[in-house]
Amino acid sequence: MTPLRAPDDLRSDLEDSCREAFCTSLPLTGSVAHAESVVMEAIEFWSPSDTVSQFIREELRPLLLMPDRHRHCFMLRMLVNLSRQACARILGLTGLQVDRYTTAAVSDLAQLNEQERSQ
């Protein structure tokens, strides 16, 4: 099965943001594992709201409406392009769960985009 891919410009923006967050946290924590943990904790505890949606590119706004697990898996698998195993390790999930949440996120995006078009 061919993996779904996010548009290149969207993936590039997210990769840049994640890289910047990681590179910022690495000297602060002094450890790759801790820096990775800090970035993932920030993603996990981030609670999107209407006020932050104004700072997010229009294409990414539907992600704010997704359940957390769907959003986390989608972002890491599709936008950051991490492997299934890396996502599972980072998120504390099994590979099968990562696949299921990512697939659900793709479905969520399709539904959200359809709703947006019908308005």
Quick: pLDDT tens for 34-51: 888 888 887 776 665 545
The reply to whether 1 falls in a domain is: no
Query: Has residue 17 been placed in a domain?
Result: yes
CATH number, domain with residue 57: 1.20.140
The pTM (predicted TM-score) of the whole model is 0.57
114 belongs to a structural domain: yes
The domain of 14 spans 8-118
What integer best gives the mean pLDDT of the chain?
Answer: 78
Contacts 24+ apart (CB under 8 A), 66-71: 66/105, 66/108, 66/109, 66/112, 67/104, 67/108, 68/44, 69/93, 69/101, 70/101, 70/102, 70/104, 70/105, 70/108, 71/105
pLDDT tens profile 55-77: 666 667 788 888 989 989 998 89
- Count how many domains the chain has: 1
Q: Does the residue 2 lie in any domain?
A: no
